[in-house]
Structure 1
Amino acid sequence: MTSARRWASVAAMLFALLLAATVIPDGQVFACTPTRVWDGDGPIWCREGMHVRLAGIAAREMDGSCRPGQPCPEASALAARDALVNLLGGAQGRTSTGHILVDGPTMRCLSTGNARGNRTGAWCAAPSFGDLSCAMIRTGTVLRWDRYAHGRCRSR
């Protein structure tokens, strides 16, 4: 491999790592076009490079457990994931790692900051479903997490 090709390969790898590690600062508005989903509260992979953890809600983990100290919905992790996928337009396939591929509408999101690791916590909305966290609560597959909901998604 020539040094120019090696450099191009290294540069491409560094760019990919930079995109994968993008965390949007608290209070910033950003666009997210969903491309894949892991579970009912995220992360949602965005075409723009970030991974979004939906703010103000809690879903079961994919192994069926609930993390200590967070609300634990009765619905299964698969039911919550499938509800999120359906809100985002339906499944378009699956990756070898189990992520569900989606081709969702571009959402307008408001960051709540780092949500552990390389995830951005965010409130996201699109005209087709409104606030995504609130829409997920309405599916009955996730619970409102009062500690992080900050008055949003209250029942009428």
Structure 2
Amino acid sequence: MLPFMFLAAAVIAPGTRFTCTPVAVWDGDGPIWCAEGPKIRLAGIAAREIDESCRPGHPCPQAGGRAARDHLVALLGGARGTRSTGHVIVRGPRLSCVSNGSAKGDRTGALCRAAGVGDLSCAMVRSGYALRWRRYGGDGLCGSERPQD
């Protein structure tokens, strides 16, 4: 099993392709902790916070934060346990990602694909657990549904 560590992650430069082996998830739009070091915030979407709230000015899907997190965890192969911090441990498929730059702090905003799932951001939107968010790359993402401002 891969170790669960909080590595000091640098933000990956926009346009850079990289691989992520998921080891932990916080909520429905990330961060997803990668064994390789990065922390990914899924680009172009917004999910409720884990405390079920929506931050002011963010799109606010109807689905709850815990439900969104659990759906993302399922897309990543299912839960393998929970850390005392609340992070859900996963051992999912390797992700193929493209950075769109900083997602605040040491998180990298990215569009990521998983075998058998496709684009994770789109999978979260299609399932109703997240909304597209224009501010963070939601234009043209996942087809024709209207992105939120």
After TM superposition, is the score higher than 0.5?
yes
| Residue 93 (structure 2) aligned to one of 82, 94, 105 | 105
Q: Distance in 1 between matches of 2:140 and 2:58?
A: 17
Aligned to 2:140: 151
Q: Distance in 2 between matches of 1:98 and 1:104?
A: 18
Q: Which runs of 4+ in 1 moved over 6 A?
A: none
Q: Distance in 2 between matches of 1:84 and 1:20?
A: 23
Q: Distance in 2 between matches of 1:46 and 1:30?
A: 11
Q: Equivalent residue of 2:84, what SS?
A: coil
- Residue by residue, what CA displacement relative to the aligned partner does 1:36-77 show, whole Å, maximum 9, x if unpaired? 000000000000001000001000111111111111001110
| Residue 136 (structure 1) aligned to one of 103, 110, 124 | 124
Q: Equivalences for 1:5-154 in 2 at 5 Å?
A: 19-147=7-135, 148-154=137-143
User: Partner letter of residue 102 of structure 1?
Assistant: V
Aligned residues: 140
Whether the 8 Å CA contact 1:30–1:109 is kept in 2: the answer is yes
Q: State the structure with more CA Rg.
A: 1
Scaled by the length of structure 2, the TM-score of the pair is 0.89
Q: Distance in 2 between matches of 1:73 and 1:112?
A: 23
Shift of residue 128, structure 1, vs aligned partner: 1.5
Q: Equivalent residue of 1:83, what SS?
A: helix
Whether the 8 Å CA contact 1:20–1:51 is kept in 2: the answer is no
Q: Which runs of 5+ in 2 are unaligned?
A: none
Q: Equivalent residue of 1:122, what SS?
A: strand
Query: What is the aligned-residue identity percentage?
Result: 62
Q: Which runs of 5+ in 1 are unaligned?
A: 1-15
